[in-house]
Structure 1
Amino acid sequence: MDYLARREYGQTELKKKLSGAGFTREATERAVDQLTADNLQDDHRFAESFMQSRISKGKGPLRIQLELSQRGIDSGTISTVLEMADLDWAALARQVRRKRFGPGLPTDFAEKARQIRFLQYRGFEPEQVQAAVGRDDEQ
């Protein structure tokens, strides 16, 4: 309960945390199952919270998907949460690019490549990256 009082955790992440604190596997499984049954722990709720946190940090859908899967969230839950976000990812990519590199578009190939790599690292899809660094982003 102490862990969940601070922030949301996915089941897998919570089990690892409890195992690391010295609890047996059986006790960990029982505790997490009970917390889930009592609706104190919910992977969907965790995924939504995690996604909002990453969006506010300027991360794209591919990065969010990767980080959620690394935390043991199943692909169905990840897909559902990303679809529910109903977010204009291209607009977010443009916003992230502007915040990092300023309002002007890249003027040469090297600068454009640098900005593309940055947005790819942030987890934006190719279409979103092109919308952010392309000529059609001035709106």
Structure 2
Amino acid sequence: MAMTLHERALRCLAQREHSRAELARKLGTLGSPEEVGAELDRLIDLGLLSDARFADAYVRAKASRFGAARLKLELARRGVPAELIGEAIEENTTDTELERARDIHRRKFATPPTDAREWARQARFLQGRGFSTEIIRRVLKEHPGDEPA
């Protein structure tokens, strides 16, 4: 028995929050763009679909592992408007960006970098997690003698 557009939407939302763009992509094969759009509008009116709620949940789940730049990129890729991204990051990150970077670095690396090559490796890791160059330098300079030669 074929699942209706509404049933599929509710099933997706029962598993986790979705952004409007994500859900539109998942439902795209079950109806015309107009039908999908109408269903998404209905879900928003019912309070079942919210980009703001999705952004908050995403940031809460990922902030302990990623920097602000990575969080912004991932939310933008999922179709969340920029103003909601900024609010979600601001409201759902209790630690500062530097504190989060320190924590992530501490969990990944048992020892501070001992030479320029290791310093670069650890810096690349933090960069990939979405931390700024300034934050990376501060985290890695907290151990004397760690700066690259």
Unpaired segments of 5 or more residues in structure 1? none
Q: Relative to total residues, which structure has the larger helix share, 1 or 2?
A: 1
CA shift, 1:87, in A, is 2.6
The equivalent residue for 1:124 is 131
The equivalent residue for 1:88 is 96
Q: How does 1:59-138 map to 2 (within 5 A)?
A: 59-85=66-92, 86-102=94-110, 104-135=111-142
Q: Which of 21, 37, 50 is equivalent to 1:12? A: 21
The equivalent residue for 2:5 is none
Unpaired segments of 5 or more residues in structure 2? 1-9, 145-149
- Give me the whole-angstrom Cα distance separating, in 1, the residues matched to 2:58 and 2:109: 26
Aligned length: 134
Q: Which of 12, 17, 21 is equivalent to 1:3? A: 12
CA shift, 1:84, in A, is 1.4
State whether residues 18 and 28 of structure 1, in contact with CA within 8 Å, keep that contact through their aligned partners in structure 2. Answer: yes
Q: Which of 55, 58, 62 is equivalent to 1:47? A: 55
Higher RCO structure, 1 or 2 (CA under 8 Å, sep 6+) = 1
CA shift, 1:136, in A, is 6.0
- Give me the whole-angstrom Cα distance separating, in 1, the residues matched to 2:101 and 2:71: 14
- Give me the whole-angstrom Cα distance separating, in 1, the residues matched to 2:75 and 2:21: 11
Find the structure with the greater CA-based Rg: 2
CA shift, 1:131, in A, is 2.3
State whether residues 112 and 143 of structure 2, in contact with CA within 8 Å, keep that contact through their aligned partners in structure 1. Answer: no
CA RMSD of aligned residues (A): 1.5
Deviates more, 1:81-90 or 1:11-20: 81-90
- Give me the whole-angstrom Cα distance separating, in 1, the residues matched to 2:107 and 2:139: 12
